[in-house]
Amino acid sequence: MDKLTHFDAQGQAHMVDVSDKPATVRLGVASGCIRMQPETLRRIQAGEAGKGDVLGVARIAGIQGAKRTADWIPLCHPIALTRVAVAFSVVQAEPAEDGLVALGCTATVQTVGPTGVEMEALVAVQAALLTVYDMCKAMDRGMLITDVGLQEKQGGRSGHWTRASGNNVRQG
């Protein structure tokens, strides 16, 4: 297992020095779901939520979250992002045993720099899903945010990783 880079030799937390790392194209893809009552999903899709375009507002929240990750996560570097895309899809249209359906969110974040954008992708998903919750809580307080995780990362010394492969593939 690799050593934890956010601790110095004395075990104190610090921001990692990336000044000697080369700038490369970095990509992070994260996803998650929000589970809800079928009527809540229907109203979101029909544009009948009382606060407006739920997915449009949530998409902007996800983009803003990615851009502000260093404000949320203490040891993250502020990164100049070159791309942030937030997309939604119905991942479970038929109610499960608990009666809930699921709306999925995927965030893709990219930069050219000395450090990766995995945290930015994860924050984007969380901010987007929390915004869906906020905009719909009056009609469904029982919504659940689930399965948030990194799906893929590219670039840097550790290479390309995907959840499907579950391991790092070193480049070059």
Does 14 score more than 50 pLDDT?
Answer: yes
Provide the domain limits for residue 118.
24-163
Residue 109's CATH number: 3.30.70.640
**How many domains does one find in the chain?**
1
* 135 lies in some domain: yes
Active site (annotated) includes residue 2 = no
* 11 lies in some domain: no
In the prediction, which pLDDT does 1 show? 43
**DSSP bridge partners of 88:** 105
* 4 lies in some domain: no
Closest by CA to 146, choosing from 100, 108, 86, 110, is 100
64 or 4, higher pLDDT = 64
pLDDT band at 172 (very low <50, low <70, confident <90, very high): very low
* 99 lies in some domain: yes
Does 166 score more than 90 pLDDT?
Answer: no
* 75 lies in some domain: yes
Closest by CA to 148, choosing from 112, 104, 116, is 104
Catalytic residue among 2, 20, 98, 134: 134
* 77 lies in some domain: yes
Mean pLDDT of the chain: 90
pLDDT tens for 50-91 read 888 999 999 999 999 999 999 999 999 999 999 999 999 999
pLDDT tens for 89-110 read 999 999 999 999 999 999 999 9
111 or 159, higher pLDDT = 111
CA distance 23 to 3: 22
pTM of the full structure: 0.89
* 171 lies in some domain: no
* 6 lies in some domain: no
